[in-house]
């Protein structure tokens, strides 16, 4: 990008593709300087099914955001979701030869990189490895082990796994649109950056992002990510249920869902009806609000049953004091907060991505449907600043070097690239990320 002070988030969703250009202002909040949104016709359940249609939609959304912000967009942070995403927990161990030498950043990164060597099912790849806690000489609960002493360094990692082909399709779309990939970020993690605060993450909270094609879940406890999951149902399947149940076309099903839909049938009366015009001279059809709500509630009951099963994997171990936060376009459904609280047995609130946005932003951007896009910008700034902090303590006259005490082996250039770009280098792509440029000492403005 022409100005490194800007971060761009690109949300490639099932119903929309949205691009956001963000800038961090003096008070630490994010100002969205430009955004563009187009209809998504080439994506189903979070996965690209039509490259050409997706590339065209990306270009149009990026052009709108670029024109509005007056920023030449070249690099983007992209979200990834889809029913192929899954996660697991893994513990890594590093035995140190010299316990009198302080633990270095290189050792911490080597411990993380070792996780990428885990054997995966054919066609699957580790997308990201997120540290949860470190253990030094069997002493748990350490968040920042750098500079400490010990003979054994261990860590619990949250490992996110996805299909290689799905990631490649996203990368192909980005490249064909004339853009470069900066980071690929799991969408529920991006959304959590936009709508959750640190107190909720510490107390224990489940983020439930109800999108068009999928429902994404991220559970936090004690300020670290404890569990992620993707359920292959979202708002589109509710629209399809209405279309079939009421025998109307998809366009009208979506319209009445948005305007008159309710997640709780008992909140509607039988005499409240909406009239749907007939096609090609046919008579109009009347649908009661209660009938509509029954169809919606039946599908949401199923979604929340699956959500609750994912939450219980963590909640049986740790109590989620902060309950559930609903976000995404599906969270705008009337009475959905009541239904979610009833089905999960937890406190529920709606998450709006306005807490971290500057006051001069458009009110439209505070909608839950933009949580992922805004979160990609926020998460992009977090990762960029973390990279700057690492670089700041590891410079010498010859460039960027991570200091490694003997006898720990120095990280190679290839290992360093993998540490920054995750699994992209193993996909055989030629993507040059902002992070790689930064470590190489290149001009990231280009």
Strands (E), 96-249: 124-136, 139-142, 152-163, 180-186, 205-210, 215-221, 224-231
Residues 6+ apart with CB under 8 A from 368: 195, 326, 327, 328, 329, 331, 332, 350, 351, 352, 353
Task: State percent of the chain over pLDDT 90.
Answer: 60
* Predicted local distance difference test score (pLDDT) of residue 127: 87
CB-CB contact of 58 with 10 (8 Å): yes
pLDDT in tens, 115-158: 999 988 888 989 889 999 999 999 998 989 999 999 999 999 99
Which stretch of 60-64, 190-194, 422-426 has the lowest confidence by average pLDDT? 422-426
pLDDT band, very low/low/confident/very high, at 438 (cuts 50, 70, 90): very low
* Predicted local distance difference test score (pLDDT) of residue 410: 47
Task: Give me the mean pLDDT over the 277-281 stretch.
Answer: 74
Of 154-158, 184-188, 282-286, 380-384, which has the strongest mean pLDDT?
154-158
Which stretch of 221-235, 255-269, 423-437 has the lowest confidence by average pLDDT? 423-437
- Token couple for 194: 């936009």
119 vs 64 pLDDT, higher one: 64
Task: Give me the mean pLDDT over the 436-446 stretch.
Answer: 46
Task: State the DSSP H helix or E strand holding residue 306, giving kind and residue range, or none if neither.
Answer: helix 289-315
* Predicted local distance difference test score (pLDDT) of residue 268: 84
CB-CB contact of 377 with 370 (8 Å): no
Question: Would you say residue 13 has pLDDT above 80?
Answer: yes
Question: Would you say residue 20 has pLDDT above 90?
Answer: yes
Torsion region of 222: left, alpha or beta (phi above 0 gives left; psi -120 to 50 gives alpha): left
Question: Would you say residue 183 has pLDDT above 50?
Answer: yes
* Predicted local distance difference test score (pLDDT) of residue 335: 96
Question: Would you say residue 356 has pLDDT above 90?
Answer: no
Per-position b or e across 201-238, b if 16+ CB within 10 A of its CB = bebbbbbbbbbbbbbbbbbbbeeebbbbbbbbbbbbbb
* Predicted local distance difference test score (pLDDT) of residue 344: 92
The span from the first CA to the last CA of the chain, in angstroms, equals 6
DSSP H helices in 14-156: 51-69, 105-115
Task: Give me the mean pLDDT over the 236-243 stretch.
Answer: 95
- Which of helix, strand or coil describes residue 164? helix
Distance CA 89, CA 446 (A): 38
pLDDT band, very low/low/confident/very high, at 276 (cuts 50, 70, 90): confident
Which stretch of 85-89, 201-205, 375-379 has the lowest confidence by average pLDDT? 85-89
Mind giving me the DSSP string for 234-245? -HHHHHHHHHHH
pLDDT in tens, 304-346: 999 999 998 876 666 899 999 999 999 999 999 999 999 999 9
């Amino acid at each position: 990008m022409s100005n490194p002070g800007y971060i761009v988030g690109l949300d490639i969703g099932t119903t929309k593709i949205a691009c956001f250009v963000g800038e961090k202002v003096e008070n630490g909040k994010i100002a969205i300087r430009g955004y563009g949104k187009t209809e998504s016709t080439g994506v189903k359940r979070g996965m690209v099914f039509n490259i050409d249609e997706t590339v065209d939609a990306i270009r149009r959304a990026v052009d709108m955001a670029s024109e509005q912000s007056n920023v030449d967009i070249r690099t983007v942070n992209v979200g990834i979701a889809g029913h192929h995403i899954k996660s697991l927990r893994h513990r890594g161990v590093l035995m140190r030869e010299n316990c009198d030498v302080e633990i270095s950043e290189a050792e911490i990164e080597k411990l993380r990189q070792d996780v990428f060597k885990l054997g995966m099912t054919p066609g699957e790849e580790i997308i990201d490895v997120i540290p949860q806690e470190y253990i030094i000489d069997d002493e748990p609960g350490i968040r920042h082990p750098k500079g400490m002493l010990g003979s054994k360094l261990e860590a619990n990692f949250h490992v996110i796994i996805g299909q290689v082909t799905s990631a490649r399709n996203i990368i192909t779309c980005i490249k064909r649109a004339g853009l470069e990939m900066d980071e690929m970020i799991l969408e529920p993690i991006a959304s959590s950056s936009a709508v959750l605060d640190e107190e909720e993450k510490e107390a224990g909270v489940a983020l439930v992002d109800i999108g068009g094609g999928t429902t994404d879940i991220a559970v936090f406890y004690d300020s670290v990510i404890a569990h992620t999951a993707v359920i292959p149902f979202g708002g589109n399947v509710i629209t399809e249920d209405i279309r079939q149940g009421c025998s109307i076309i998809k366009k009208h099903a979506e319209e009445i869902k948005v305007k008159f839909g309710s997640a709780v049938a008992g909140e509607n009366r039988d005499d409240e009806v909406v009239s749907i015009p007939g096609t090609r001279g046919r008579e109009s059809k009347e649908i009661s609000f209660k009938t509509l709500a029954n169809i919606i509630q039946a599908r949401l009951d199923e979604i929340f049953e699956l959500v609750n099963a994912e939450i219980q994997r963590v909640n049986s171990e740790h109590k989620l004091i902060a309950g559930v936060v609903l976000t995404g376009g599906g969270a705008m459904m009337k009475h959905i907060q009541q239904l979610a609280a009833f089905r999960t047995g937890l406190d529920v609130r709606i998450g709006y991505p306005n807490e971290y946005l500057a006051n001069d932003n458009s009110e439209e951007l505070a909608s839950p449907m933009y949580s992922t896009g805004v979160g990609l910008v926020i998460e992009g700034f977090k990762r960029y600043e973390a990279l700057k902090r690492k670089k700041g303590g590891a410079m010498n006259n010859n460039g960027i070097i991570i200091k490694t005490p003997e006898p720990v082996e120095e990280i190679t250039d290839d290992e360093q690239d993998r540490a920054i770009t995750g699994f992209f280098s193993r996909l055989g792509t030629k993507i040059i990320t902002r992070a790689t440029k930064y470590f190489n000492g290149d001009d990231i403005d280009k």
